[in-house]
Amino acid sequence: MELFKRFLRFVRPYRWQIAQVMVLLLVVSGIGLWRPKIFQFILDDALGAKALGKAGVEAEPSVAKLWIGVGLMLLNTALMAGIGYWRSWKITVVGQRIIFDIRRHLHKHLQRLSMSYFESHQTGRILSRVMYDVDAIGSLASGTLVMLLSDIVTIIFLIFYMFYLNWQMTLIAVLIIPLYIINFTMLRKSIQRAYRRVREKVSEISGNLHEKLAATKVVKSFTRERSESRIFIHQIRENLGLSLQSARLSMWLGRSAAILTGIGTAAIYLVGGYFVITGQEDFTVGKLVQFNSYLGMLYGPVERLIQSNDVITRALVALERIFEVFDTRPEVEDKPDALNLDHIDGRVEFKNVNFGYIPDELVLQNINLMVEPGEMVAFVGPSGSGKTTLANLIARFYDPTTGDIFLDGNNLKDIRLRSLRHSIGMVLQETHLFTGTIRDNVRYGNRQATNEEIVRAAMAANAHDFIMELPEDYDTELGERGLKLSGGQRQRVAIARAILRDPRLLILDEATSALDSTSEALIQAALDRLMEGRTSFVIAHRLSTIMKANKIVVLENGIIVDIGSHDELLERGGLYAKLYNMQFRKQEMEEEEEEAAKATPRATVATPGRDRSGGGMRS
C-alpha radius of gyration, the chain, whole number:
37
Average pLDDT on 147-155 reads 76
- Beta carbons of 204 and 125 less than 8 angstroms apart: yes
- pLDDT at residue 115 in the model: 81
- Beta carbons of 523 and 511 less than 8 angstroms apart: yes
Higher pLDDT, 11 or 210: 11
Of the candidates 135, 140, 137, 149, which has an alpha carbon nearest to the alpha carbon of residue 21?
Answer: 149
CATH annotation of 2-326: 1.20.1560.10
Residue 569: pLDDT band (50, 70, 90) is confident
Residue 405: pLDDT band (50, 70, 90) is very high
- From residue 243, alpha-carbon distances to 177, 205, 236, 246 in Å are 29, 14, 10, 5
> Rounded to whole angstroms, how far apart are CA atoms 458 and 463?
5
* Lowest-pLDDT range of 42-46, 381-385, 392-396: 42-46
- pLDDT at residue 191 in the model: 78
Would you say the C-alpha torsion 593, 596, 598, 603 has a positive or negative sign? Answer: negative
Strand 348-355 and strand 364-371: the pairing is antiparallel
- pLDDT at residue 597 in the model: 61
- Beta carbons of 258 and 22 less than 8 angstroms apart: no
- pLDDT at residue 605 in the model: 39
Whether residue 353 is predicted with pLDDT greater than 70 in this model: the reply is yes
Q: Do domains 2-326 and 343-423+503-619 have the same CATH topology?
A: no
Look up the CATH architecture of domain 343-423+503-619.
3-Layer(aba) Sandwich (3.40)
Average pLDDT on 558-576 reads 86
Q: Looking at residue 154, what DSSP letter applies? A: H
Domain boundaries, the chain: 2-326, 343-423+503-619, 435-502
Arithmetic mean of pLDDT over the chain: 79
Top mean pLDDT of 245-254, 316-325, 372-381 is at: 372-381
Beta-carbon count within 10 A of 533 CB: 10
**Strand residue runs (E) in 325-471:** 348-355, 364-371, 376-380, 402-407, 410-411, 424-428
- pLDDT at residue 270 in the model: 84
The secondary element (H helix, E strand) that includes residue 538 is: strand 535-539
* Side chain identity, residue 97: R
> Rounded to whole angstroms, how far apart are CA atoms 133 and 202?
10
**% of the chain residues with pLDDT over 70:** 85
Residue pLDDT, tens place only, 360-369: 888 899 999 9
